[in-house]
Amino acid sequence: MKLLEAVLAQPVASPVKQGDPILDPPVSIHALKRQANEVCALFKTPTVALNLIDDDPTVGVAVDRFIEAGHLAEARRLLAFAMDRRDAIWWAYLSAMEAARHKDLTTEQQKGLDLVLSWLIDPNDIRRKQCKEAMRDCKSTSIAGILCFAVWLSGGSISPYARRHIEPKPHVCGKLCGVVVYLSSVYFDPSRWTTYLKHFLDTGVLVAKGECPIPLPGPLPAKAGPA
């Protein structure tokens, strides 16, 4: 939990001003209690892994079976696709920040991750669009760039035209979060990626259980009184 404490200690932008549009978070379905086969149908799963869940267990049981059998990629995808989008982004963010502790990010990439954290703490359309704008400076194939893209695709219109509302495909955000978790596991020591990925999977399970919650918005700064 040291990583979570370090994240919570970071300064973040204050909540948006009154009147700014706020995005209601999607209805949360307990990720670990969903049926595994239902979620696995959303991505390509090898037969050898599907054979482990032919009794249609819950996602929590399936993740444990996949990890025990060495199917780490399937465990990662299953968890990322099953999670609420905001929780999946939080998991990917924690993984990225732990990777960054061992190998520095560029200034632009760190700014991108700061924007992601600001959106996580206080999700709204203004911050979502800020993450989209940060993608180019972060480089779209970097951990930070992909995570900013995940925020942009987390919900809300992605149309360039204000009068034409286009929602992103529902499972792309989870897919991108799973990619960030994988890239974080190989970021600074590719030879030990399985060790790091197992650690990140443990973190993801904690997030899904609600034992590693997203921090709440802090209070707005007090206004200065009359001199």
How far does the chain reach from its first CA to its final CA, in angstroms?
44
> pTM of the prediction?
0.83
User: Helices marked H in 30-71 — which ranges?
Assistant: 36-40, 47-50, 59-68
The stretch 3-9 carries a mean pLDDT of: 42
pLDDT 10s digits, 70-129:
999 999 999 999 999 999 999 999 999 999 988 889 999 999 999 999 999 999 999 999
Q: What is the mean pLDDT of the chain?
A: 86
Whole-number Å distance between alpha carbons of 187 and 96? 9
Query: How far is residue 15 CA from its own chain's centroid?
Result: 20
Whole-number Å distance between alpha carbons of 103 and 114? 17
Q: Is the dihedral of CA 36, 37, 40, 44 positive or negative?
A: positive
The stretch 59-73 carries a mean pLDDT of: 98
